[in-house]
Structure 1
Amino acid sequence: MSEQICSRPARKPDHQNSTSPPRRSRSRQPIRGSAKLIETTRHLMERTIEFIPHPNFDRSDCAEYVESLLNETSDAPHDDAPATAGIAFVTGLVSAARLTVQEERYWFTKMNFLKFRAEQHRRLLDLRHPDQQRVDGIQADLWESQQIRNRIVQANLRLIVALAKKLSHSLETMSELISEGTTPLIRAVELFDVHLGNRFSTYATWAARNQMLRWLKRNRSALEGASRKESPSLESLPDKRPIADAAESERPTSAETVNRLMSTLSERERTIVAARFGLDGQPHSQSLAEIAKQMDLSKERVRQIALASLEKLREYAVNQEGDIVI
């Protein structure tokens, strides 16, 4: 594996081969390569691959050095204690084992070395002479570095869950905080310098906790209002109308009541309420973040529309029936 890693950095660029024509004469030749290769080369040339530098990355045997760090991780103990015992919906988030100090050093170093190597090859790309092998190598390094990043994120999701559990008082709030904390966790993985000697959990906790606190501050009033006004499901609306002389078969069902109330909303209001509470045949309720992404709105705006729609339904129900409670 290490020989394969080293092979690409050691290979000279095409324009440095002794058998290649001089640059001046070559510049007059037409662009060679498929349209897809040219477009991919152009896309890579227009971006800069960010990485955390390290002095050893310039070593000719850096690939072997990185892989040697793997030998230090074999006998290190893991802390697999669940962070949120008893909460079923987050079981999958904390299934990955926490990384040891040695494993952190290996995976962070390898991730940044792969991005470093991809960046060095990216700088050698020439749109006039696209190199399929070089492009493939860059993409392979970027793909592998992203897989490592995802592995580190998964191993540290229990940290986000633990923070969310401490800061929330309901499963709904906890779910939102986990969503809010995941973004700074991913960014922290990309910015963390493992060779400074600190644990990643210390670095990531600060970023994730600050983001969660900012979210709580922005939404505290809305959350308190939602806890008072929102019912668990609109489909659980009680039908309390008197049936003194009405036949049992003539009573409207709960579903009919919901449909009648929902028809009073605008298309956007109905879409948001239906998605939020799993109505209109939707398989399950959706979070504010999911609805906001689908409708290209902010989560706060979705929350405001949902609350306003529920209040609108409440007023309509009271005016029409007098005793329906939403």
Structure 2
Amino acid sequence: MAELEPANREADQFLESLEGLTTAQLRTRTKRRLREEIAFIANDDFRDPELGKAIFEESLELAPRQASLGVAAIRRSGIDMPIHLGRLCEAPLLKPDQERMLFQRMNYLLQQAAIHRSLLNPARPSRVRLELIDRLLALAAWHRDRIVEANLRLVFSIVKKFVNPNNNFDDLLSDGIVALIRAVEKFDFDRGFRFSTYATQVIRRNSYRTVVVKQQERQKTVGGLQDMEIDLTDEGRESAISEKRWHELRSRLSVMLDDLDRREKFIIRARFSLGAHRKVHTLQALANRLGVSKERVRQLERRAMDKLRGMAGNAQLAELESP
């Protein structure tokens, strides 16, 4: 159990003592905890009442972090990035038995937290049980983080392949790490294959989806700008426009939209799938929303387009074109 000392010390930094809370405050905490789901991957072995003692008696024997691993990860990436990112990759890879043990412990701790959560009663709140649940969740998070940090080099190696002028490494890395964490939480360690096999597919699909979604959003807005007769040049139509200039165009369009009245702004955004609108709305759908005729929506759209064309002609957008 001495191996859990660093996990407990880390948990102590974040866990809030419930000592001194009133019954009403404990009741509120209990209701909040009951609303929060505790998800874990169930396992038949968890039914064994002696399992907890057995899995925590066996030592993980995790190797210490190595700065050389982080430096090597930066060099292999082939991407110009801050050296401090290498610190994310200093944890050695896990051996198969270490990986299995971490997943088993993490899910067992989550299962125990879920059991105690099911015993909570707002009418008779228990400070001791609430604190126990918090500690179990913190210890589970510590084991999860050991798995995550040991697999961060995998994220680096995958997302770098998706970097292009419109998708920078930092954003892809952030999304990739989130995907890695989700993969850890959903991986069934008892199926007999390594986590990296599963995680590779999850991270790759996530990166591909990120790139595709961003490309689709750019094409929607570029199409909207073209319909307003704003010249993006052939280069822009081929999506070779730089990310900086792309954001400038979006910013300029946003400013122009602010000069429209409320209904005009709503119609343009809905018709060109801008802002919160994820699809192009038909004239009839907008007519139903606004309580007017389809022809009236068409007139408002035409009026708004005329205003935007006038503003675009005065906005000197040529500065955004390629040199």
Shorter-chain TM range is 0.5 to 0.7
Structure 1 residues 71 and 214 mapped into 2: Cα distance closer, same or farther (>3 Å)? closer
- Quote the residue 1:114 is aligned against: 109
Structure 1 residues 72 and 96 mapped into 2: Cα distance closer, same or farther (>3 Å)? closer
2: distance between equivalents of 1:153 and 1:229? Answer: 35
CA contact (8 A) 2:175 2:207 kept: yes
Q: Of 44, 49, 53, which residue of structure 2 is paired with 1:60?
A: 49
Letter in 1 for 2:199: A
Give the CA deviation at 1:299. 12
CA contact (8 A) 2:165 2:242 kept: no
1: distance between equivalents of 2:144 and 2:311? Answer: 46
2:181 is the counterpart of 1:192: no
- Quote the residue 1:154 is aligned against: 149
- Quote the residue 2:241 is aligned against: 229
CA contact (8 A) 1:52 1:192 kept: yes
2: distance between equivalents of 1:165 and 1:299? Answer: 30
SS at match of 2:77: coil
Partner deviation per Cα, 1:273-298 (whole Å, 9 max, x = no partner): xxxxxxxxxxxxxxxxxxxxxxxx66
CA contact (8 A) 2:110 2:137 kept: yes
SS at match of 2:115: helix
Structure 1 residues 213 and 231 mapped into 2: Cα distance closer, same or farther (>3 Å)? closer
1: distance between equivalents of 2:276 and 2:191? Answer: 37
- Quote the residue 2:24 is aligned against: 35
SS at match of 2:141: helix
More helix by share: 2
2: distance between equivalents of 1:184 and 1:135? Answer: 30
% identity of equivalent residues: 27
Q: Of 69, 89, 95, which residue of structure 1 is paired with 2:90?
A: 95
CA contact (8 A) 1:33 1:130 kept: no
Q: What pairs up with 1:1-326 in 2 under 5 angstroms?
A: 1=1, 34-71=23-60, 80=69, 81-82=72-73, 83-84=76-77, 87-89=80-82, 90-170=85-165, 172-220=167-215, 222=218, 228-230=240-242, 265=255, 316=314, 318=316
Q: Which runs of 5+ in 1 are unaligned?
A: 6-31, 235-260, 270-296, 302-310
Structure 1 residues 184 and 35 mapped into 2: Cα distance closer, same or farther (>3 Å)? same
Q: Please tell me whether Structure 1 or Structure 2 has the larger radius of gyration of its CA atoms.
A: 1
Please provide the CA RMSD for this pair: 4.3
2: distance between equivalents of 1:180 and 1:299? Answer: 22
Corresponding residue pairs, total: 235
CA contact (8 A) 2:147 2:184 kept: yes
2: distance between equivalents of 1:298 and 1:148? Answer: 38
Structure 1 residues 202 and 213 mapped into 2: Cα distance closer, same or farther (>3 Å)? same
1: distance between equivalents of 2:190 and 2:243? Answer: 51
- Quote the residue 1:17 is aligned against: none
Structure 1 residues 74 and 233 mapped into 2: Cα distance closer, same or farther (>3 Å)? closer
1: distance between equivalents of 2:207 and 2:117? Answer: 37
TM-score of the pair, normalised by structure 2:
0.58
Give the CA deviation at 1:38. 0.6
Partner deviation per Cα, 1:75-123 (whole Å, 9 max, x = no partner): 9x9x945252553234344333332222211221111111111111112
1: distance between equivalents of 2:203 and 2:237? Answer: 25
Structure 1 residues 94 and 225 mapped into 2: Cα distance closer, same or farther (>3 Å)? farther
Letter in 1 for 2:50: D
2: distance between equivalents of 1:55 and 1:140? Answer: 24
2: distance between equivalents of 1:41 and 1:85? Answer: 50
1: distance between equivalents of 2:42 and 2:172? Answer: 32
